[in-house]
Structures are given as C-alpha cells and as structure tokens.
Amino acid sequence: MLRPICQIKITQQPTSDLPNRNSVFQFSFVNNIEVSSSWKNLTDTAKIKFPKNVFINFADGTKRKLSLKDTPQFINGRQSNNDAPFVLRGDKIEIQASYIYIDRNGKEIVPEPDTIFSGYIVKVLNKMPIELDCEDNMYQLKQIFLDKMSWAAADISDVIGYILKGTNFSFTTGGATMSLGNFRIENQTPAEVLEYLRKTFHVESYFRGDVLHCSPFVYYPDTNNNPPHLLQFQKNIISDEMQYTRADDVKVGVKAYSISKVELATQTFDGRMKNKATRLEVFAYKKNNGEVDFKDLTGGIKAGIDEGSFGNVVTLFYADGNTLDGLKQFAKARLNRLYYEGFRGTFTTFGLPFINHGDQVQFIDNVLPERNGTYFVKSVTRTYGMGGYRQKVEIDLRIDGVLDKTDLQKGI
C-alpha cells in the first residue's frame, strides 16, 4: 500500500519594513495542493489550501489557532526570531511529495521525495482556510524592469543572456540558434520579453529549477533520449479523457513563409554588394502513408496543391527563415504538433512515476493493444490532498511511427 506524504517549506523573505523576517516553516499536512506545470504557460503555478484549524504549539504549552492576523512567535515548537506576519507575497516555497510504502520484507520505506514545486508565494487569500497562490522562478522575472537595449540583428541567446543578467538563473536553448532580427527591449520585465518571444517567434520558455529553457524547441534533444515512463491502462492509469483521432479525421496543412535576404553578384554605384529581399514559402502536409511532404510555394507556384482539400490550413510567419531548408524544418515541426494519428487529451495516474512535461509516456494496453503508443507530455497537473496524490497528464504529439531518431535528436 502506498501512503502519500508531503512536505511544504516556506522561507520568509526580509522586506524593507521587516528586515529580520527570515524564518523557515515546514508543514507535513495540507488540505489540498494543485500544481500546474507546462511548457505552454511560461509560469508553473501552485495553489495550496491549508486545513481550517491549524493550531500552533507555543513553548509555554499553550496552543493557538493560526490565522493570517497572527504574528506567531513560536511555530513547530521553536521560537521564531521575528514577529513578522506568517506569510507574505514573495516568500519562498517548496513543495515535496512522495509515497511511503512497505517493501517485500515488510519494512516501511520512506523514499527521497520529489520536489513537485519550487517558487514564490504571489497571493495570500485573506480568508479561512488560508490559501496561497504560488508561481515558480518566473515570478522573479516579473519583478524586475530591464534597462533599455536594442540590437540590429539579435540571436535568441543574446536576448536571453541580457534579460537574465544580474539574476542567479542560467539558460539553455537546447543548442538552437535563432535570429530574431531587429530587437528592442523597452519598459519590459524579462517575463514580458519571454511572452513577446512566444507570441511573435513561437519561442516557448519555462523554468526547470534555476535553468530557464527558452528555445524554438519544446522537446529538447538531450531529454528526448530518456526512456519513456511506462503506463498500463489496467494498472496505473486511473482514468482518462483521451480521444483517438485518425489521420483522415483531421487534415491539416501548414503554410510557412519568411523573408529572406539574398546578396546579389552585382555592386551598387558606391561599390557595395547589392541585396534583395525574397519571400520563401512552403506548404507542409502529410501524405497518406504519414510521411511529411513539402511543396515549395516560393514565387507563387502552387502546382499539385489543392489547399481546399485540407480541413485546416495554418499560416505561420517564421522570423528566422533565411533558407528554404530552415523553413521546411519549422513547418514540419509545427505540422507534427498539429497532425498525428493517435490519442489527444489527458489521463490521470498516481503520483508515481514522477512525470514532467517534456517527458515521454508509453501506453500499454493488454486488452486493447491498438491503444499502445508513445507520446510527449505537454502538461502535468499534480493534486495532493484528501483524495490522495494524483497526476493529470496532458499528452501531446505521438512519437512512435511519427517521429524518427533524427527528428528527436534535432529537438521538436
């Protein structure tokens, strides 16, 4: 039998009014925790609801009910070194969860718990029971305003390196380089810059620990080699809201275009090499056998393409498409995210195996083997509380039969 355990650690942060606010509180009980984590949300969030009646044991033997009005001198049996409010916006919080289980020899095993959330308290709901809203390290990137900066031709690493300057965070692009062209930062927080990159350049960002992942990939080449988590329908998948979509149910095409600058062989009157801007355009679609094919639409050539036969044509601008090959890679990656034969939706499993977004999950169904398949994980919502410890996992694109090793090594 698995018995869920949790540990919530709140580290007070000093403020200008309360410079001695630096106590650490730990709780091993909670009414409910919900942690949402995804590469598409920029910020991982957590909601914690404490039990209605939490009593503090004071050193003198008295016991008092905890409320937000309290300025507890003593908590967990030890004296706090300040009389500051219990929790404030900006306090650090870490949530760990796991299961205690009995091994085959009858011995109780307490494994090293998984850190399911690490971040900051952003909102303290002023009601009973006490509720806390939390955000991950992205909270820090929402608190600082950047100095003005501009680049004539910026690469993604230039911009991310600049916005993280002065913080304790590092970053990775998964080896990707991406030209952002003319780029300017003005009256923005780093988080706003990341949101702008997401909207304009399809660059997704998220924190994993203290490392900011920011890349046109969402599934990084280094983690794509990790083995998938095995999940069995009749064993550790509790319930699911997944629907199987056949390839011919959804017919999607991706039209991607970019502006490319080409240097000509001729010179200007003042001896400079002449440039010319051209529009590159490709149409990516899947053939009946599932392979991705392209039609080069550069110059308006549309031979062999009947866009009307596609249920949905998504048109996308690619800022870094200086070559046709680069544009094709972009279109293929987008198409693979939109169009595959397999499951879409969410399933609920126990707290183990510990699944992160970006991981791979492999479904095994001994009753209906057609449901077998390997998928990427788009988001995970973890809940812990009276109902136990659960993970609600949203799956994304299918790997087996859709993507090959080369695709995975390049990053998706």
Chain residues binding other proteins by CB under 8 A are: 36, 38, 40-41, 43, 45, 148-153, 181-182, 184-187, 200, 241, 259, 261, 268-270, 272-277, 315-317, 319, 344-346, 379, 381, 392, 394
Nearer to other proteins, 320 or 407 (CB): 320
- Rounded to whole angstroms, the Cα distance separating 355 from 352 reads 8
Nearer to other proteins, 106 or 271 (CB): 271
Do the beta carbons of residue 134 and residue 121 sit within 8 Å?
Answer: yes
Q: How far is the CB of 64 from other proteins (least distance, A)?
A: 34
Taking alpha carbons only, the member of 383, 310, 316 closest to residue 349 is: 383
* 50 versus 257: smaller Cβ distance to other proteins: 257
Give which of 171, 206, 212 is closest to 45, Cα–Cα: 206
User: How far is residue 321's CA from residue 334's CA, in Å, rounded to a whole number?
Assistant: 14
Residue 48 CB, shortest distance to other proteins, in Å, is 15
Query: To the nearest whole angstrom, how small is the minimum distance from the Cβ of residue 123 to other proteins?
Result: 13
β-pairing verdict for 252-267 and 273-286: antiparallel
- Measured from the CB atom, the residue of 73 and 348 that comes closer to other proteins is 348
> In the complex with other proteins, which residue's Cβ is closer, 21 or 398?
398
Q: Which is nearer to other proteins, 274 or 302 (CB)?
A: 274
- Return the DSSP state at 89: T
Tell me the residue type at 235.
Answer: K
Phi-psi sector, 61: left (phi>0), alpha (psi -120 to 50), beta: left
Shortest reach from residue 259's CB to other proteins, in Å:
7
Between 315 and 372, CB nearer to other proteins: 315
- For residue 316, give the H/E element and its range: strand 312-317
Residue number, 158 or 296, with CB nearest to other proteins = 158
The CB-of-264 to other proteins minimum distance in angstroms stands at 8
CB crowding 248-279: b at 16 or more within 10 Å, else e? eebebbbbbbbebeeeeeeeeeeeeeeeeeee
CB of 144 to other proteins, least distance (A): 15
In whole angstroms, the minimum distance from the beta carbon of 267 to other proteins comes to 9
Q: How far is CA 167 from CA 171, 190, 211, 359, 384, in A?
A: 11, 11, 11, 28, 32
310, two tokens: 């596609």
Two structure tokens written together for 90: 């900006």
Residue 284 contacts residue 254 (beta carbons within 8 Å): yes
Residue 183 beta carbon to other proteins: minimum distance, rounded to whole angstroms: 8
